[in-house]
Chain A
Amino acid sequence: MKPIIQVKDVVFRYDGEENLPPVLNGTTLDIIEGSFVVILGHNGSGKSTLAKHFNGILTPDEGCILVDGMDTRDEARLLDIRRTVGMVFQNPDNQMVASVVEDDVAFAPENLGFPPDEIRTRVDEALKLVDMYDYRLHSPHLLSGGQKQRVAIAGVIAMRPRCIVLDEPTAMLDPAGRHEVIGTIKRLCRENGITIVLITHHMNEAIDADRVFVMSNGKIVSEGTPREVFSNVEALKAEGLTVPDTAELLYELKLGGFKFPEGTLSLEETAQAIAAALK
């Protein structure tokens, strides 16, 4: 169970902010290859800044980030690093560069200089993986938000990365769009072994993660399985966060005298546990 990304004691400040506390203040964590990882944190905790370090968009002032053993400060390796870790951002419109879906997905392979046959294969494969193959000749700006984000994910997949980092990819989407995107990335992890790092505020999206990291003021303050992390309701609220609704309900019921098995979290587990407790 090798780490594909290693973050070691990273300290980082943006230019012009020398007088302020660092945005990343001794951040350390490992992302294990093939896992589905969620990073939570209040706005300003450093999570987006950290995400941008994962493929060398930003580099640390102190400490280091290793992607498959490659140091992100090594400019000679940046191309390899970016082929290994792809990124999807919040705003679907800001990520579309072409006027036809398949041209947008082809952007990265074209720029990497692949031969036309190879590009065709990768584009078709990527679009099928996100279930947008039927829209390959459509105009991106006429798609829904969820569809656009899936095309953005396809654009990253066309590079066959081993890891995809998504920074609040569902923030601008409707519930159906959210389900599509989260469903797609979970499937890519389970069926294709792609490491997924998801940064989100939607606690309900973290329930199925393999590992959850909670950031605050530039540091990791809590980590573990979703069950472990979300059982500390008080601590999370103190960080300006919350827990999935199921965990919230169980917590409130515990305050009212109920007892539940440790680690109850999913909707089904919660319903069964409450039903059992009432019988």
Chain B
Amino acid sequence: MPTIKTQTLTHVYSMGTPFESVALENVNIEIAQGEFVGLIGHTGSGKSTFVQHLNGLLLPTSGRVFLDGTDLNSSKKLRHEMRFKVGLVFQYPEYQLFEDTVYKDISFGPRNMKLSKSEIDERVREAAGFVGVSEALFDKSPLEISGGQKRRVAIAGVIAMRPSVLVLDEPTAGLDPEGCESILKNISNYRTATGATIILVSHSMEDIARIAKRLIVFEGGHIVIDGSPEEVFSQADRLKSIGLDVPIATDLATRLRELNIDVPECCYTVPQLRDAILSLKKEGTRC
């Protein structure tokens, strides 16, 4: 049974007004437990609208959303429970920090789950550990810490609910390369440790290429491509025509093939390209 399933999911904003717009149209998708999915699409393609249906923040105009086989919208109580199972981290999550202390902010989710004090404490420490927030920060105000630390605290606040599905909208936006690397590693580690399903919305083709195993491409409210990074990035022209791009390594591989250098089709990261070129060199020196 898929963890997430949508059936002819459609969402229309401002219906009946002059600003009416169809953000999603007949979206059918299935995502299995433990998958690492990247969602890409130009601004306005429907990705953010889509992810907000996964924990009931938005309701479908028509169609259905199922979590573990149950229709998310069959009851208000169920929708409420879903918010703890599907954790949603918005872009620039540090804007959602509000408590007096880092500890209290991270504990907000678990506190609303009717857990015991000791369970809440365990969750806070575990979540902080996952994202590299040191316990020395627990008593500080979230407003006092650096931007990168704020980002981590916000993500910890969602992970503390131990969601089985973690959705992150541009978690690396505005971070420097070291910060990006570290956040992506934390997300991978969370998935490995808990078996959670990860859905990563991103505009960075390079980030997505590095860690996602399946890419879903949105365009104009529809899913237009759904496949492995190899399958998706091999359609460079198509992606570019819909406002997206391919990783630089892919463009480089294409150019090399035009220059009669035989690098395989499926290179979309620098390490893959490096390995392909190094093995071509070895073959060259053998003859």
Interface residues of A (CB under 8 A from B): 41-44, 90, 142, 144-146, 168, 171-179, 201, 203-204, 240-242, 244-246, 248-249, 252-253, 256-258, 267-268, 270-272, 274-275, 277-278
Contacts and interface: CB of A to CB of B under 8 A. Distances in A.
A245 B259 contact: no
A268 B251 CA distance: 10
B248 A241 contact: no
A241 B203 contact: no
B247 A245 contact: yes
Nearest to B91: A172
B43 A201 contact: no
Interface string B255-287: 110011100000000110110011011001000
B274 A242 contact: no
A96 to B, nearest CB: 15
B245 interface: yes
A126 B251 CA distance: 33
Nearest to A248: B270
Q: Is the interface of A mostly helix, strand, loop or mixed?
A: helix
Contacts of B27: none
B16 interface: no
Given A201-B177, A203-B177, 6 more contacts: A43-B147, A172-B170, A201-B176, A204-B248, A275-B259, A277-B281
B255 A267 contact: yes
Contacts of A267: 248, 251-252, 255
Given A175-B245, A248-B270, A249-B270, A274 B173 contact: no
Contacts of B203: 173-175, 178
Contacts, number: 115
A249 B252 contact: yes
In this complex, the member of A245, A256, A275 whose beta carbon has the largest number of chain B beta carbons within 10 angstroms is A245
A271 B258 CA distance: 10
Contacts of B20: none
A245 B260 contact: no
Contacts of A257: 281
Contact of B146 (A44, A178, A201, A249): A44
Contacts of A258: 281
Nearest to A147: B43
B274 A252 contact: yes
Nearest to A177: B43
Interface residues of B, number: 42
B42 interface: yes
B175 interface: yes
24 contacts: A41-B176, A43-B146, A43-B176, A144-B42, A144-B43, A172-B91, A174-B42, A174-B203, A177-B43, A241-B176, A244-B248, A245-B206, A245-B270, A246-B252, A249-B249, A249-B273, A252-B270, A256-B281, A258-B281, A268-B255, A271-B255, A271-B259, A275-B261, A277-B281
Contact of B244 (A90, A176, A201, A244): A176
A256 B174 CA distance: 33
Contacts of B147: 43-44
Nearest to A241: B177
